[in-house]
Amino acid sequence: MTRITVQVDGSSYTDDVEPRTLLVHYLREQLGKTGTVVGCDTGNCGVCTVHLDGRSVKSCSLFAVQADGHEVTTIEGLATNGQLHPMQQAFHENHALQCGYCTPGMIMQSLDLLADNPNPTEEEIRLGLEGNLCRCTGYQNIVRAVQAAAAGGAQ
Ligand code: FES
Ligand code: FES
């Protein structure tokens, strides 16, 4: 076991983890952050996307020990005082989800995209989200949601 201290969604956690524990499993199973989900476990689908020190990472592709001393933000850390984050609100208003399984990762990746490029074209949005798969929506409304969030200055 290795002891790690990680800041997650604004709170500090110190835990013993096995060196092979994936960050996504640490978040879900030890911290109860089940808003971050697992799809492929192989870095392909993007549903496990979180922010590590403000940049998006696929949390199935990192070990929990690699987050030691760092700051993680999950989908559960976005809303403040019961108010959805503007990106969450934009997904809601633009019907950018059906089953919702891809949504946490899509939202975290969309925020990373806007952090780099606050005013992306449709093509740039599609490229920026190419590592996040959605089996339901056909992506059109996801792109619209990101455009709406960008227009509203969401970051
Ligand atoms: S579960 Fe991490 S990329 Fe699919
Ligand atoms: S809404 Fe079902 S996978 Fe995207």
pLDDT digits (tens, 9 = 90+) for 15-53: 999 999 999 999 999 999 999 999 998 999 999 999 999
Is the pLDDT reported for residue 154 higher than 80?
no
Cβ(106)–Cβ(91) below 8 Å = yes
User: What whole-number distance in Å separates Cα of residue 14 and Cα of residue 145?
Assistant: 36
* End position of a domain, from candidates 57, 77, 97: 77
- Looking at the fold, whether 90 and 72 belong to one and the same domain comes out as no
Q: What is the pLDDT of residue 41?
A: 87
CA distance 23 to 65: 8
Length of the chain equals: 155
pLDDT grade for 56, boundaries at 50, 70 and 90: very high
User: Which pLDDT belongs to residue 30?
Assistant: 98
Neighbours of 1 (CB within 10 A): 9
CATH number of the domain encompassing residue 46: 3.10.20.30
**Ligand that comes closest to the CA of residue 56:** 1
Which of 59, 77, 95 finishes a domain? 77
> pTM value?
0.96
Which of 77, 104, 129 corresponds to the end of one domain? Answer: 77
72 plus 40 within the same structural domain:
yes
- The Cα 143–Cα 155 span in angstroms is 15
Q: Are residues 106 and 130 in the same domain?
A: yes
The CA-CA-CA angle for residues 15, 24, 28, to 5°, reads 70
Question: In this structure, are 104 and 136 located in the same domain?
Answer: yes
Confidence check: pLDDT of 153 > 90? no
Q: What is the pLDDT of residue 155?
A: 63
101, 72: one domain: no
Q: Is 99 in the pocket of ligand 2 (CB under 6 A)?
A: yes
Of the candidates 28, 26, 35, 22, the residue with the CA atom closest to the CA atom of residue 62? 22
CA gap 61, 154 in Å, rounded? 27
66-117 per-position pLDDT tens digit:
999 999 999 999 999 999 999 999 999 999 999 999 999 999 999 999 999 9
> Residue 109 is part of which domain span?
86-151
Is 118's C-beta closer than 6 angstroms to any atom of ligand 2? no
How many angstroms is it from 138 CA to the middle of ligand 2?
9
- CB atoms under 10 Å from CB of 40, counted, come to 13
Say how many domains are in the chain: 2
